[in-house]
């Protein structure tokens, strides 16, 4: 992202959200003072944001955007999360937790690779 402002999200997706300790997980990984916005979007809106910010014209299960050193935004397409969960041999709730941890680690500055994988496994074990 090029500046510290994020787009207006618009209409979020409807449906029941799995019970996860989002705030607790965020605080353990990023700290209590980190300001995090989390949005659950329709596939159409997630696709629009993915196209706008990454140049990829399809939806994705998660996007994370650092806004400042102490704030960020994570968006989910829950229908994509449900669809993708079996590909990772996880339940919907487990996969959502994994993706949330994954997004938080990106906001913390991690890139894909062995170090990030190790951190993901550590936090998955911590929050299981």
Average pLDDT over residues 12-26: 72
Q: Give the C-alpha separation, 37 to 13, whole Å.
A: 15
pTM of the model: 0.85
- Note the pLDDT tens digit of each residue in 61-102: 999 999 999 999 999 999 999 999 999 999 999 999 999 999
Indicate the average pLDDT of the chain: 88
Residue 9 covered by a domain:
no
Nearest to 6 by CA among 53, 57, 42, 41: 53
Is the residue at 76 inside a domain? yes
Residue partners of 37: CB distance under 8 A and separation at least 6: 6, 71, 72, 73, 74
Residue 109: what pLDDT?
A: 95
Residue 51 located in a structural domain: yes
Strand pairing class (35-41; 62-68): unpaired
Q: Give the total number of structural domains in the chain.
A: 1
22: CB partners within 8 A, 6+ apart: 38, 100
In a domain, 10, yes or no: no
Q: Which of the four pLDDT bands, split at 50, 70 and 90, describes residue 16?
A: low
pLDDT value of position 14: 55
**Residue 11 belongs to a domain:** no
User: What is the domain range of residue 102?
Assistant: 22-126
- Bridge partners (DSSP) listed for residue 16: none
CATH number of domain containing 96: 3.40.390.30
Residue 82 lies in a domain: yes
pLDDT tens string 111-125: 999 999 999 999 999
Average pLDDT over residues 8-34: 75
Q: Is the pLDDT confidence value at 18 over 90?
A: no
- 4 lies in some domain: no
């Amino acid at each position: 992202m090029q500046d510290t402002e994020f787009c207006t999200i618009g209409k979020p997706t409807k449906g029941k959200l799995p019970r996860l300790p989002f705030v607790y997980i965020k605080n353990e990984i990023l700290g209590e003072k980190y300001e995090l916005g989390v949005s659950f979007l329709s596939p159409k809106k997630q696709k629009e944001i993915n196209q706008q910010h990454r140049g990829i014209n399809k939806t994705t299960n998660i996007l994370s955007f650092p806004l400042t050193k102490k704030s960020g935004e994570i968006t989910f397409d829950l229908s994509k999360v449900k669809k993708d969960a079996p590909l990772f041999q996880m339940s919907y709730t487990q996969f959502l937790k994994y993706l949330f941890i994954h997004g938080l680690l990106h906001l913390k500055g991690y890139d894909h690779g062995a170090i990030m994988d190790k951190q993901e496994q550590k936090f998955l074990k911590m929050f299981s």
